[in-house]
Structure 1
Amino acid sequence: MSEQIQQTVPSLPRIGSPAPPFEAVTTHGTIRLEDYKGSWLVLFSHPADFTPVCTTEFMAFQSIYSRLKEMNTELLGLSVDSLFSHIAWVRNIEQNGGVKIEFPIIADLNKDVAYKYGMIMPEESKTETVRAVFIIDDKQIIRAIIYYPMSAGRNMEEILRLVQALQTADEHKVATPANWKPGDKVIVPAPQTKEAADERVKDDSYECFDWYLCKKSLP
């Protein structure tokens, strides 16, 4: 029995691995993952259309969409609802909430994309997707994964901050400390020799806790 379960449940995608390819029907027509090559992508799932928490989230995702686009980042939603349900729901959000949803939503009725990305947690729900977030870079590599339970709405500023942190790390070959936000100092790579460590702590251009933890401001 356990062998059968192992065969039917796909392995979960991992940070640093290629994003699983897909072709899916969306509210903007048929979309393939490869359509996003050259740009970053925030792919997220929600449990169901016409539900309270999801409705607040979609309006919140729309509120950060323009800032994501400024960072060469697109948004793509998903649930296992039908295309007609998605269309009716975004129309409802616009009519009652005054928010026009400008990004596409995958209608994943057969759960094909949801299973590839590990968006269904049977212990939480066997029929609905949890609140998963996948940040995929411009080379279509998964760079971050966040899971939320169905009862907790997501923090949009954290998703935005995470994209900013990843792009900053790539561009400047640095890391970002806890609670980092744009404009804060970043962490430089630790020295690899004792001589370099001795020199590092003498360098006034860095703010050092010790040789292995030094920060600097970006230009």
Structure 2
Amino acid sequence: MTNLFSSFDPSTSLSMPINWLSTLIGLIVIPSAFWLVPSRLSSLWNKVISILHKEFKTLIGPSSTGSTLIFISLFSIILYNNFLGLFPYIFTSTSHLTMTLTLALPLWLSFMIYGWINNTMHMLAHLVPQGTPPVLMPFMVCIETISNIIRPGTLAVRLAANMIAGHLLMTLLGNTGPMIPNSMITILLITQILLLILESAVAIIQSYVFAVLSTLYSSEVN
């Protein structure tokens, strides 16, 4: 590694950004039989989708006919890319703001455009929380507006930062391997395995958080 962040460099030895193809490698890796022939894996995934559908439907409200599909798809693609990045020599696309902002910004922008065009009074009412004293109303409008504008940024940065942090920690610990005595190798391996388990949990949690927050943002414009 030339520097600490070179493991997140999208360029390859050919000086071409073909590492981004790892985002679409699932189309090749996941066989068509997974979708056609019922198996334990497909049954498990159908169960996960069913649970997510019920939860997102509760969050969005009664007007959620079919709209949970986009959030389930969002959860699936982020979860897949997060897990793919845990394998050696595979590029983690979700650790880049290019990927995460591409997911967060269009979603937030579409919610805002829809809300301000169709439910203008509802959106204006959201700028002043209920029970705010009249003196504080101008300040609350400024605070709520800023917090609304930075939403896509917080969504994108949260996902990218969590992916980078865990991967960097594992890279730093892995690079100390040749320099430590043999008696410490076992401790290092156990630590790396525990970190890998933690990163697997983070991969699931972060994709779920991204999808749930997107769902909550969409429910506010209805």
> Which TM-score band (shorter chain)?
under 0.3
> Who wins on radius of gyration, i.e. which is larger?
2
TM-score in terms of structure 2 length: 0.22
Higher strand share: 1
- Structure with higher RCO (Cα < 8 A, 6+ apart): 2
